[in-house]
A = this chain, B = another copy of it.
Amino acid sequence: MISIIIGSNLFTLQVYKFIQIYTNTIPKRIMAKEITSRADNYSQWYNDLVIKAGLADNSAVRGCMVIKPYGYAIWEKMQSILDKKFKETGHSNAYFPLFIPKSFFSKEADHVEGFAKECAVVTHYRLKNDPNGKGVVVDDDAKLEEELIVRPTSETIIWNTYKSWIQSYRDLPILVNQWANVVRWEMRTRLFLRTAEFLWQEGHTAHATKEEAIEETNKMVHVYADFAENYMAVPVIIGNKTANERFAGALDTLCIEALMQDGKALQAGTSHFLGQNFAKAFDVKFASKEGSLDYVWASSWGVSTRLMGALVMAHSDDNGLVLPPKLAPIQVVIVPIFNKAEQLSVISEKVLPIKKQLEARGISVQFDDRDNFKPGFKFAEHELKGIPVRIAIGPRDVDNNTLEIARRDTLEKKVVASDTAVDYIVDLLNDIQKGIYDKAFKYRAEHTFKADTYEEFKQILDEKGGFVLAHWDGTPETETLIKEETKATIRCIPFDNPQENGVCIRTGKPSTQRVLFARAY
C-alpha cells in the first residue's frame, strides 16, 4: 500500500474534529497487532480489545468503568433501538430515585437476600474541613437516621411509589420503563461484563391479572431476543431459569442466553414474573371491576451495558472489533490514498458525492483524510474499531472510475466500479449483518452437544466448551452439586423444550427433559 505523509494542512478543522471524536482517546501508537490473540488468552484479548478500541476504561474508582465516546456511541444505538421497541409495545419512561431506604429491602424476604448485601451504603450527608489538617472528612453530626442504599435494582422503591398510583383496575396496567445507573458491589469486575456501577433499563409493570403479567413477561423476553438476533446479530436461546438461578423475589425468570467464542454462555437479558410478591410487600391493592380488593400482579425486565460485552465477545477477532452494521456508529469509512494535496483534491471530488449518496440512504460515513497518518495505520485503526466497510481510493482508482471496497468481517476486498458503489455497499452492509449472525449461529450449532453421562458431560465442558444438553433430576440440590463439581450451571430450560425420558447425569434419577448447561460469564 502506498503511504507517503505530506505536511500541508489539507483537511478542514471540522472534518478533523469529527474524526477526532472517535479517535483522540486511543493511544496513538497502538495497532491492532498489539492485541493478545484469542488463542493465547481469550480473557486478555477481550480486555485489550475493549481498551484499545476505545470502548471503555477502568476508572480511579474500584470496579467502576469509564465508557468512552466510541463505546458510548454503540450503547446509544442500542438504547435508541430498544427504547423504540419499548414504546411500540406501549411502555413509557419515568425516573425513580437513586437511593432506597434500607428498610425497603427487608420487606420482600427473598429480595433482601439477593440484593441488599453487596451494595453501596450512604450513611452521611456532609463533609467538613479536617480540623487536623488539610482536606475534608466526614461530618459525624451529619449521620442519616436511616441509611440509604444506592439502587442495585428498583423494585422496592418503585412498588412503594405504585402504591399511591394504583387504586382501581382503571389505573392498570402501568407499563413503565426507566433508563438508569445501578450499583452492585462486585468483588471481581470486568469491563462491561461485571462492574460495580453499570447502565441499564429496568421495566416495571403492574397488572390486574396474573395472565396479563405473565403475558407481559413473555412479551418482553421476546423483545430482547429480537434485539439480540436482529440487531446485535447474536443468536440466543430463550428459556426459563431454574429456581436456583431466578431473580430474587420472582416466581419465574425468563432469559436469553448467548454463546461466546470461548464456549462460555452469557445471560444477555432477563424478564421476571414477580407474582404478587412486591404488591404484598408494599401493600399495593386495587379495586377490581367486580368490586373486590386484590393485590396487583407484576413483572420486571432489564438489559444492561453487559450487552456491550456480549457484542464484543460474540463477533470480534484478533484484528479488533467486528461490529454488526446496525449497531456500528460509523458504518463506512473512506480512506483516500494520496501523497500530494492535488491528489487529495481530485480524490475528494470523486468520492465525496458517493459519501453524500450513502448518507442519503441513512448510512453513516467517515471521510478519513487525516494527513498525519499513513493509510496502513488508518486501515489497522478502522479494523480495530470494527467499521464494517472500508473504501480505499487512490489516483489510479480515480482514473479507472473504481473503488476498493473491503468488508471488516471477512477482510475480503473487491474493486468496484464507482457508479455501482452505492448499491453495492447498501447490499454489502446487509450481507455483513447476516454474515455475522450466520457465523455466530454456526459456531453455536457446532458447540451445542448432548451428554448422556457425567463423564461425557465433564469432558465436553473441559475440551470443547459450549452448551451441553443433559438430563437433570429437577432438584436444586443436584443443580448445586453439578455447579460445584463442574462450574457449569443450568442456563435455562429452553422454550418448547422437547420432552424425552432419561436419567439425570449426576444422580441417575428419572428425568423428562434435557436442560441447557454451560459454564457462564
Which residues of A does B touch, CB under 8 Å? 14, 17-18, 20-22, 24-25, 28, 57, 59-61, 64-69, 72-73, 75-76, 90-106, 112, 116-128, 134-136, 138, 147-150, 157, 160-161, 164-165, 167-168, 170-176, 180-181, 183, 185, 197, 199, 372
- Give the residues in chain B near A57, CB-CB below 8 Å: 161, 164
Given known A92-B22, A136-B116, A164-B57, contact A122–B122 (CB-CB < 8 A): yes
Judge whether A60 and B160 touch: CB under 8 Å.
Answer: yes
- Give the residues in chain B near A22, CB-CB below 8 Å: 92
Judge whether B125 and A123 touch: CB under 8 Å.
Answer: no
Given known A59-B97, A121-B123, A123-B138, contact A90–B157 (CB-CB < 8 A): no
- Give the residues in chain B near A69, CB-CB below 8 Å: 92-94, 176
A309 CB, nearest partner CB in chain B, Å: 15
Judge whether B128 and A117 touch: CB under 8 Å.
Answer: yes
With A and B bound together, what is the CA distance between A186 and B18 in angstroms?
Answer: 39
- Give the residues in chain B near A75, CB-CB below 8 Å: 95
Pick from B20, B124, B181: contact of A121, CB below 8 A. B124
Question: Whose C-beta in chain B lies nearest to the C-beta of A158?
Answer: B66
Judge whether B173 and A17 touch: CB under 8 Å.
Answer: yes
Judge whether B25 and A165 touch: CB under 8 Å.
Answer: yes
- Give the residues in chain B near A104, CB-CB below 8 Å: 60
Can you list 16 A-B contacts (CB < 8 A)?
Answer: A22-B92, A25-B174, A59-B96, A61-B148, A69-B93, A72-B93, A72-B95, A73-B93, A75-B95, A76-B93, A97-B197, A103-B135, A106-B135, A116-B127, A120-B125, A121-B138
CB-based closest 9 A-B pairs: A64-B97, A67-B95, A69-B92, A121-B124, A106-B135, A125-B185, A21-B92, A123-B123, A61-B97
Given known A103-B135, A135-B106, A136-B105, contact A94–B123 (CB-CB < 8 A): no
With A and B bound together, what is the CA distance between A123 and B140 in angstroms?
Answer: 12
Question: Whose C-beta in chain B lies nearest to the C-beta of A106?
Answer: B135
Judge whether A90 and B17 touch: CB under 8 Å.
Answer: yes
Pick from B28, B91, B123, B173: contact of A170, CB below 8 A. B28
With A and B bound together, what is the CA distance between A201 and B299 in angstroms?
Answer: 31
- Give the residues in chain B near A180, CB-CB below 8 Å: 181
Judge whether B94 and A72 touch: CB under 8 Å.
Answer: yes
Judge whether A119 and B112 touch: CB under 8 Å.
Answer: no
Given contacts A59-B161, A75-B95, A123-B138, 4 further A-B contacts (CB under 8 A): A14-B90, A66-B95, A72-B94, A118-B126
Judge whether A117 and B126 touch: CB under 8 Å.
Answer: yes
A249 CB, nearest partner CB in chain B, Å: 15
Pick from B60, B94, B97, B119: contact of A125, CB below 8 A. B119
Judge whether A124 and B123 touch: CB under 8 Å.
Answer: yes
Pick from B65, B120, B157: contact of A148, CB below 8 A. B120
- Give the residues in chain B near A98, CB-CB below 8 Å: 64, 150, 181, 183, 197
With A and B bound together, what is the CA distance between A14 and B89 in angstroms?
Answer: 9
Judge whether B61 and A165 touch: CB under 8 Å.
Answer: no
Pick from B67, B92, B127, B197: contact of A94, CB below 8 A. B67
Question: Whose C-beta in chain B lies nearest to the C-beta of A14?
Answer: B90
- Give the residues in chain B near A67, CB-CB below 8 Å: 94-95
- Give the residues in chain B near A66, CB-CB below 8 Å: 94-97, 161
Question: Whose C-beta in chain B lies nearest to the C-beta of A21?
Answer: B92
- Give the residues in chain B near A99, CB-CB below 8 Å: 61, 64, 120, 197
A460 CB, nearest partner CB in chain B, Å: 37
- Give the residues in chain B near A24, CB-CB below 8 Å: 165, 170-172, 174
A429 CB, nearest partner CB in chain B, Å: 22
- Give the residues in chain B near A118, CB-CB below 8 Å: 125-126
Question: Whose C-beta in chain B lies nearest to the C-beta of A197?
Answer: B98
Pick from B61, B135, B185: contact of A100, CB below 8 A. B61
Pick from B21, B72, B161, B176: contact of A175, CB below 8 A. B21
With A and B bound together, what is the CA distance between A61 and B92 in angstroms?
Answer: 23
Question: Whose C-beta in chain B lies nearest to the C-beta of A97?
Answer: B64
With A and B bound together, what is the CA distance between A261 and B164 in angstroms?
Answer: 31
A457 CB, nearest partner CB in chain B, Å: 36
With A and B bound together, what is the CA distance between A112 and B99 in angstroms?
Answer: 23
Given known A101-B61, A147-B138, contact A92–B120 (CB-CB < 8 A): no
- Give the residues in chain B near A91, CB-CB below 8 Å: 21
With A and B bound together, what is the CA distance between A91 and B18 in angstroms?
Answer: 9
A262 CB, nearest partner CB in chain B, Å: 27
Question: Whose C-beta in chain B lies nearest to the C-beta of A96?
Answer: B66
With A and B bound together, what is the CA distance between A519 and B495 in angstroms?
Answer: 63
With A and B bound together, what is the CA distance between A75 and B167 in angstroms?
Answer: 27
A443 CB, nearest partner CB in chain B, Å: 31
Pick from B68, B94, B124: contact of A68, CB below 8 A. B94
A66 CB, nearest partner CB in chain B, Å: 5
